[in-house]
Structure 1
Amino acid sequence: MDAILSDDLTLEDDFVLLRPLVEIDIENLLHFSINEPDLWLYSLVRANGKENLENYIQITLKAKANKTEFPFIVFDKISGKYAGSTRFYDINLPFKTLQLGYTWYGKEFQGTKLNKHCKYLLLEFAFEKLQMERVEFRADNNNQRSINAMKSIGCKVDGILRNNMPTAEGLRRDSIVLSILKEEWFESVKENLKAKL
């Protein structure tokens, strides 16, 4: 299984390419960090500003080394530009579960089909290569844009975790939990999502 999540892993179709995030990708993402700081309004780890972006990348690369996360940088083939980042996290291979999140795209790429292409590739990989039984998604319960995006790819709401984690401002947030199960992927989610690409 470890060999599948390797540093040469790429997921791609005609519209998007996802490859492992590396430290020097700060140069590919810095313009978002400086010019679109509100992309991380609901994020637990902010990446607005160069120092925060460096910290954001270091945190996930350390978790990758510990085999609990696998971050990707997203390249939009249509525009020829880097678009953002996403990752697998809370990877639990014995339980066959992981979470998919920390997803953000520059404003130019929001509302396009980029997210659906990314999610299709990531879910296909999770269920068909990694043999996951469940892929979970979480968001701040106030982040309606993310919640709508997750529902649009076929996620089902599991429930709300009340007051379950701190925000970047030191307050507490309710987190909505959504998921897709392996049988749902093969029964309907895969084809429904493919039809939206």
Structure 2
Amino acid sequence: MILTEPLASISGRVLLVPPSESDDALFAALRCHPETRRYIPSIPQHYTPEEARERRLAFEADKARLNFSIYAVTPGSQPKYVGAVGIFNIDEASKSCEMGISIWPDSYRAGFATEAMHTLLTHAFEERRLHRVVYHTAAHNVRMRGWLERFGATLEGTLRDNRPDGKGGYQDDCLYSILEHEWIQTVKPKMEEQIRRVIC
């Protein structure tokens, strides 16, 4: 599925833009970056813009998925591609979905991931009226797990040997979730406080 208009973060520092042809090479480089593959080793070491294009076009037709490129907006400069974020496995019957995000390592700690995820969670809970958002992340992805726990996501458990580890074995994944009332009461206020701190 594709939205025709970008989603802007509450500060205006981040835009979630429907992926386009001009993003294919950028996404391909991000997808096979060593830091991305460190946590999702099943991703090929080499990933081409042509493969990114095929993926983008296939996902545009998938009604259970919504993808965005993340652009950082700086006054006086062209928006900068800093990552990708998406909703997938949207289940309208159960009002649930999964979310995932990848950020360029040189954009870590700039607050872009928090603003991008806040924007997408707002869309999921307040526009689409979903009830539950799920995240799967590698058990050894301390950065992502810390981010989820800091803002109030609930660790539901560990999925043992859930994905190939790229070395002939398997890796454990952790399952986190956010429910609609948790978004309103806890997660959203914590995220917005963090966003305010970064801006100031």
TM-score bucket (shorter structure): 0.7 to 0.9
**1:67 aligned partner:** 63
Counterpart contact for 2:158–2:172, Cα < 8 Å: yes
Q: Decide whether the 8 Å contact of 1:61 with 1:71 is kept in 2.
A: no
* Stretches of structure 2 lacking an aligned partner (at least 5 in a row): 196-200
CA distance in 2: counterparts of 1:43 and 1:56, whole angstroms: 16
Kept after mapping to 1: 8 A contact 2:29/2:47: no
Task: Indicate the residue corresponding to 1:114 in structure 2.
Answer: 112
Pick closer, same or farther for the CA change 1:160–1:184 going to 2, 3 Å: same
Cα offsets for 1:68-96 (capped at 9, x unmatched): 22111010113731101111111111110
Distance in 1 (alpha carbons) for counterparts of 2:53 and 2:155: 29
SS in structure 2 opposite 1:41?
A: helix
* TM-score (normalizing by structure 1): 0.84
Distance 1:158 1:38, change over 3 A: same
Rounded Cα–Cα distance in structure 2 between residues aligned with 1:33 and 1:71: 14
Aligned to 2:43: 46
Of 10-19 and 145-154, more deviation after overlay is shown by 145-154
8 A contact 1:60–1:69 mirrored in 2: no
Cα deviation digits, residues 146-186 of structure 1 (max 9, x gap): 11122223211111111123234442121100011001111
- Residue 104 of structure 1 aligns to a residue whose secondary structure is strand
The percentage of counterpart residues that share the same residue type is 24
Check conservation: 1:22, 1:61, Cα contact below 8 A: no
Distance 2:63 2:41 in 1: 20
> In structure 2, what residue type is equivalent to 1:59?
R
Per-residue deviation at 1:7?
A: 3.1
User: TM-score by structure 2 length?
Assistant: 0.83
- Root mean square deviation of aligned Cα: 2.3
Q: What is the total number of aligned residue pairs between the two structures?
A: 190
Q: Which runs of 5+ in 1 are unaligned?
A: none
